[in-house]
Amino acid sequence: MAVLGIEGGIFGSALEEFNRAATVLGLERGIWNILSHPKRQITVSCPVLMDSGEIQVFTGYRVQYNLALGPAKGGIRYHPGVTLDEVTALAAWMTWKCALANIPFGGGKGGVTCDPTRLSRRELEALTRRYVAEIIDAIGPEKDIPAPDVNTNEQVMAWVMDTYSMHVGHTTTGIVTGKPLELGGSLGRREATGRGVMIVTREALKHLGRDLAHATVAVQGFGNVGSISAELIAREGATIVAVVDWKGGVHNAAGLDIPKLVEYVRVNPEHTVAGFPGGDPITNDEFWALDVDVLIPAALENQITVDNVGLIRARLVVEGANGPTTPDANKLLHDRNVLVIPDILANGGGVTVSYFEWVQDRHGYFWSEREVNERLEAKMCEAFEATLRTALQYRVDMRTAAYMVAINRVATVTRMRGMYA
């Protein structure tokens, strides 16, 4: 089967990270074997009637990597680069992320290979509904609960919820998280990933004897994660000196005005930070080489590689994105004593508040934003402390430590549940 992508590819990188931690843990061969295979990979074809009158067929995936701790949980990504290998890696990372966050979910992920910037709103809705209809037997509030990811948002989640509800014949809010508030969404969910990034950045700086209020920070990516991380970190008093995205970048040593940058991106037709008048243009190489305290990659996978890792001067890298650092680059950073807060810890705030949303939907009783944020704060700090404790105890980097905590939890329940037939 070519589907596993064990040799190379993004899932190959995810397995390398897993293998390193499993070795330190001394994980037994049988459990090792189970945890390095996706439980279920679904590929679907989604025909869509385009505005032009033509029918276009889009390929979609849903991967449920591991269900030992509970229903699969993970977002749906719309991007031209989506492949089964990528979705499998992302589903594996969700497995470890949920286990590290200590929430009762397994890991899943979905994706459709498409360029959403070229789809009309009607085409986007049709594609979403058809994709959901194609995977409908595999998902459900007790089975697999999607959420937003790259290029999907609350509106897309509303369509997911409606399509599923129409199929089963009754409104089912718990089928998906990241929904609009009016449809059973949670206060604080939209900001949750960025808030989690802010919390772990603060905790990591504290560990280094530094204070977030006096830190300088550079952010790659200005979608939901990058923009809200930047906003909340700036609100803590830190200086955001640069932001880059797919189109270009902007730099201001005195600090970018993040609310103004958010507004600039919202109104310009290409939704990019490039050309923002509150700073000077900056190239990607200049961005990585900035003399800042903290770098936050919050875009896509494979951004920090052996080719640009040598440029990095920051003392701390906080992975807002999933998989932004290749395993080789990660090792070089560790050797140079750069502290890397891994994705499965740094961006776990999103799925943590997704869990809170699912709990609220099931109870039909909704929490205040303060309750959500306080519980998120507690969960992020617990995960950070468990990871740091493990890193110090075993003398390993934070990524290996985070995997060790997560793998240990999934392995323990796998042993307890035993083998079926």
Q: Which of 97, 109, 179, 379 is catalytic?
A: 109
DSSP-H helix ranges across 239-368: 258-267, 284-288, 327-335, 343-346, 349-363
Of the listed pieces 39-47, 161-169, 285-293, 347-355, which binds ligand GLU according to CB under 6 A?
347-355
**Residue 177 near ligand GLU by CB under 6 A:** yes
Task: Name the one range near ligand GLU by CB under 6 A: 30-38, 73-81, 229-237, 274-282.
Answer: 73-81
The C-alpha atoms of residue 196 and residue 189 are separated, in whole angstroms, by 11
Residue span binding ligand GLU (CB under 6 A) among the ranges 59-67, 295-303, 348-356, 397-405: 348-356
Closer of 38 and 350 to ligand GLU (Cβ): 350
The interface region with ligand GLU, picked from 1-9, 48-56, 70-78, 202-210 by CB under 6 A, is 70-78
Minimum distance, C-beta of residue 102 to ligand GLU, in the bound complex (Å): 15
Interface of this chain with ligand GLU, residues 85 to 104, rule: CB under 6 A: 97
Could you confirm whether 109 is annotated as catalytic?
yes
Sign, CA dihedral 22-100-113-268, equals negative
Specify the amino acid at residue 33. N
Nearest CB to ligand GLU, comparing residues 39 and 334: 39
Kindly tell me which residue out of 151, 173, 347, 360 binds ligand GLU, with binding defined by CB under 6 A.
347
Beta strand pairing status for 294-297 and 216-220? parallel
Q: Are strands 249-251 and 144-145 parallel, antiparallel or unpaired?
A: unpaired
Helical H segments across 218-342, by residue range: 224-235, 258-267, 284-288, 327-335
Question: How many angstroms separate the CA atoms of 275 and 412, rounded?
Answer: 52
391 burial level (CB within 10 Å; 0-12, 13-18, 19+):
buried
User: Residue 33's CB: how many other CB atoms inside 10 A?
Assistant: 10
CB of 108 to ligand GLU, least distance (A): 8
- Among 66, 113, 354, 373, which residue interacts with ligand GLU (rule: CB under 6 A)? 354
Residues 358-397 that bind ligand GLU (CB under 6 A): none
| Residue 343 C-beta: closest distance to ligand GLU, Å | 8
- Tell me if 322 contacts ligand GLU by CB under 6 A: yes
Q: Does 62 bind ligand GLU (CB under 6 A)?
A: no
Residue 29 CB burial class (10 angstroms; 0-12, 13-18, ≥19)? exposed
Closer CB to ligand GLU, 192 or 292, in the complex? 192
- Asked if residues 121 and 50 have their Cβ atoms less than 8 Å apart, the reply is no
Q: Select 147 or 205, whichever has its Cβ closest to ligand GLU.
A: 147
Q: Does 144 bind ligand GLU (CB under 6 A)?
A: no
Q: Which stretch binds ligand GLU (CB under 6 A): 37-45, 72-80, 226-234, 296-304?
A: 72-80
Task: Report which residue type is found at 311.
Answer: L
Residues 6+ apart with CB under 8 A from 255: 234, 239, 240, 241
CB of 90 to ligand GLU, least distance (A): 7
**Nearest in space to 37 (alpha carbons), one of 15, 70, 8:** 15
Examine residue 349 and tell whether it contacts ligand GLU (CB under 6 A).
Answer: no
Q: Does 5 bind ligand GLU (CB under 6 A)?
A: no
From the CB of 153, what's the least distance to ligand GLU, in Å? 11
66 binds ligand GLU (CB under 6 A): no
Helices (H), 242-282: 258-267
**What minimum distance in Å lies between the beta carbon of 62 and ligand GLU?**
13
Burial, 70: exposed, middle or buried (Cβ in 10 Å; 0-12, 13-18, 19+)? middle
Positions in the binding site for ligand GLU (CB under 6 A)? 73-75, 97, 147, 149, 177, 322, 347, 350-351, 354
